[in-house]
Structure formats: structure tokens, C-alpha cells
Amino acid sequence: MRRATDVALAVAGTLGVCLPVLCLSAGSVWADTPTAERCDKPVYLTIDTGHMGVAPLIVDTLQRHGVKATFFLANERTQRVDGKTEGSTLDAQWAPWWKALASQGHDFGSHTWDHLSWQADVAGRFRFKGSAGPQAGQVQTLTAQQYCAQLAQPARRFQEMTGQSMRAIFRAPGGKTSPALLAAAKACGWQHVPWTPAGFLGDELSSDRYPNAALLNRALKNVRQGEILLMHLGIWSRQDPWAPAVLEPLIVGLQARGLCFATLRAHPDFAAAGPAPLKP
């Protein structure tokens, strides 16, 4: 892991700017990191679950920079990491990790329990392909009520793990939805959160075609105030992990441009979302 000052110097050279952090004493390098409380030019970092292999490093990066994010939770398959065996993102060994994250003031929403990716509307039902759970890799057809149950299950588990309520926001895996699916989710109390085009950070793309340096440069060039950014807690298919390698210089670079990070609790479209429904 590179030192914070090394990252700051590298980004400063890339952008041709003087970073405020470099003018601070060595003992307070990140003391002036913008926070949500005084965030007047926000971007909204959202993080979907993944294999969790880099999750501790990602959270360490967020903590050091004072960044709060919005996490969308599914019960996905995990790698071995930080003393934890292979398992799933919402199992007992990850529960203390999520509880600690909730205590730090991050925001949380559902990503469906089995990470169900919508494929089609079929005669009043919905066709999905999940990447987790007992039917992983299989095509499933669910009613609206069954889909709402998929949304509610992470909320119940989150409350069990943390003692806090998830908010009634969700991210459809892959961002794949239909008007009928969104209407069904809304009818059972859920509001969908997409990402903005410039907020697609590309961590799920091929490392060969989209190397980290190219993705970082694109984000630093295109992200503007108000963007909803998308990243993951590890992507199985990416050979050169995007996070945390790109995350730190991205945070530093955006802050150098006067942007700051806020959760979706501060977003005008999603601030009013209340506690998640625990039943379909």
C-alpha cells in the first residue's frame, strides 16, 4: 500500500495542481479532508458487495480520507481475507465488520439477497439470473412479491448484524431493471438507485482492455459535482484489481478539484428514503 503522501504527490503531478494536503504538517496530512457535514460540491460514492478480497483495504482508504459511502448489500460468495474463510458477504464472520462499518456513519441499501440480475418481464412476472444462493447461475422467474422478499432479506440481515435499519433504497445488480420491475419494487416500499454515466468507474471491466491507469484518468477527467459513483468490494473476473489501487488517487484527485464525498442520505433524490421494509 502506498503512503498517502506518495499518492498525493503522484496525483498532483498528473493533474498539474497543488494539493492542499501537501501544505500540512506530516502529522496531519489528511486533517482537512472534506466531510459530508461541510460538503458543498458533493459526489456520491456507492459500493456494491463483491468477493470482499479487497474490502478491508477499501475501508481503510475511506477511513484515512474521511470518506463516507453508500453500500448496497447482497449475500455474495467471498474469498479468504483478513482471517476469514471463504463464505458469503452477510454470513456470521462478516457480521462484526458490517457492524463496525455501520457505526462509522456509512449509508446502506439492498442489492437483492441472491444478486439477481433482471433479464425480462414475463406475463406479469420477472425473469432473473442470480450469481449467489442455491440457484446461482440458473434462470429464475419470480413474482413481484418474491422479488420484494429478495429486497427485504438483506435489510433483515443488516438489522440482525448491526442493530440499525437499512434505508429503503436498492441497487439492481448490473443496474438492469424495467419499468414494471421498478413499479413492483416501489409498491413494496423500495426506491431504486442507478449511477450516473460518468460515475461508472469501470472496476468490473476487463483489465486488459481497461487498465487501472486508463480508468483513473477517465474518472478524474469526467466526474463532476452531483455524480453517483459505482464501485464494488471486489470483482472476480478482473485480474488487476481496481480497488484499492485506483480508489486513493481518485479520492485525492477529486478533492483537489474541490469536490467532496457524501452519502445518499444527502442526495436530493434519495434523502427522504425511510427505513427499509423488513417484509415483502
Name the residue ranges covered by the structural domains of the chain: 17-24+39-266
Q: What is the pLDDT of residues 154-185, one digit of tens each?
A: 999 999 999 999 999 999 999 999 999 999 99
Cα gap 68→102, rounded to integer Å: 10
Q: What DSSP assignment string belongs to 94-163?
A: THHHHHHHHHTT-EEEE--TT-EEEEEEETTEEEEEESSSTTTTSEEEE-HHHHHHHHHHHHHHHHHHHS
17-24+39-266 CATH fold = TIM Barrel (3.20.20)
Q: What is the pTM of this model?
A: 0.87
Q: What is the pLDDT of residues 23-39, one digit of tens each?
A: 322 222 222 333 445 78
The confidence band for 233, taking pLDDT boundaries of 50, 70 and 90, is very high
